[in-house]
Amino acid sequence: MLFPTTIAGSLPKPAWLAEPGALWAPWRLDGEALAQGKRDAVRLALFEQERAGIDIVTDGEQTRRHFVTTFIEGLDGVDFERRRTVRIRNRYDADVPVVAGPVARRRPIYVDDARFVRSQTARRVKYTLPGPMTMVDTLFDAHYRSREKLAWAFAEILNAEAREIAALGIDVIQFDEPAFNVYFDEVRDWGIAALERAAAGLACATAVHICYGYGIKANVEWKKTLGGEWRQYEATFPLLARSAIGQVSLECQNSRVPIDLVALLDGKDVLVGAIDVATERIETAEEVAATLRAAARLVPPERVQACTNCGMVPLSREVARGKLRALAAGAALARAG
């Protein structure tokens, strides 16, 4: 079947689990109630995706507060009591934890969550993890004093986690690397190698997601500086085409990314962002289909998947539900010709 549908990863959380519309929203439950609440939210995220007709589903990232930090909280070597201010992706300042010693994974982090989502659906499941470079970019490193060395340590940790997740029967493991759209020299020098290390030897498909971020103010301001054409992918895609990563998830809908850049992803599955997550307006099926058809003229159609530009966690549940339906309807329309 052409144009299978999937999402970048996250969906909004129910209001009883966390404050709607907020990134990093604190949990509204704790203890066993929180554990049960997370599982119920995963069930709802699956229900919404399946009812909308999404083919390759995720847990909606309902079990984590933040796509990078929640993973890092499970590791040794990072001191969350000490905070330093750093500039994230050259865009905005944030108080971040400090790498105070060797980083290590003493126990599985998302493996139980991945086992649960696998047990709750018969559809193909994608599981998302942060990428090594993006992890480095959310911390102050007082130990390794080298972004490359820290990324390599994270890549080995991610690989151990990903191997256990893949062994559960998860179909795709995706690493989120928005930092790949910012640090082009580092991507070339060590970013791709660290990503490949994280994805080495997995018994499932592998993907990388690279985007222009949520519709938050810092990102909207940053996008204004990027000019009439966003060509950031031009530096990275040829390197990814030669890499061992199987799928690339990118932003297209309503962006200024020239669609012809997808042709640089020779041999890869291309997860075409056909849903804008930075606006509440719900795309029409025709708009989604037009984006998919444009990509399918540049790469073999059987390599095109219909996806969202990025995660939908900041949106309302109603808007996200509408966008899921638009994605499936648009893919069906494109499939019809």
Q: What is the binding site for Zn ion (CB under 5 A)? A: 211, 310
φ, ψ at 88 (rounded to 5°):
-90, 125
Q: How far apart are the C-alpha atoms of 46 and 126, rounded to whole Å?
A: 12
Our CB check for Zn ion shows the closer of 56 and 211 to be: 211
Our CB check for Zn ion shows the closer of 77 and 311 to be: 311
Q: Whole-number minimum distance, CB 311 to Zn ion, in Å?
A: 6
Q: Whole-number minimum distance, CB 11 to Zn ion, in Å?
A: 13
208-245 burial code (b ≥16 CB/10 A, e <16): bbbbbbbbeeebeebbeeeeeebebbeebbebbeebeb
Q: How far apart are the C-alpha atoms of 242 and 117, rounded to whole Å?
A: 32
Contact 114, 162 (CB under 8 A): no
Residue with tokens 């648009």: 330
Contact 60, 17 (CB under 8 A): no
DSSP 23: T
Our CB check for Zn ion shows the closer of 150 and 250 to be: 250
Our CB check for Zn ion shows the closer of 211 and 262 to be: 211
Q: Whole-number minimum distance, CB 252 to Zn ion, in Å?
A: 12
Our CB check for Zn ion shows the closer of 72 and 211 to be: 211
φ, ψ at 11 (rounded to 5°):
-130, 160
Our CB check for Zn ion shows the closer of 114 and 310 to be: 310
Q: Whole-number minimum distance, CB 274 to Zn ion, in Å?
A: 14
Our CB check for Zn ion shows the closer of 208 and 333 to be: 208
Q: Whole-number minimum distance, CB 60 to Zn ion, in Å?
A: 14
Q: Whole-number minimum distance, CB 310 to Zn ion, in Å?
A: 3
Our CB check for Zn ion shows the closer of 23 and 142 to be: 23
Q: Whole-number minimum distance, CB 203 to Zn ion, in Å?
A: 25
Residue type, 79: D
DSSP 27: B
Q: Whole-number minimum distance, CB 195 to Zn ion, in Å?
A: 15
Q: How far apart are the C-alpha atoms of 221 and 210, rounded to whole Å?
A: 18
Residue 151: other Cβ atoms inside 10 A: 27
Contact 75, 67 (CB under 8 A): no
H runs (alpha helix) in 199-284: 217-224, 233-241
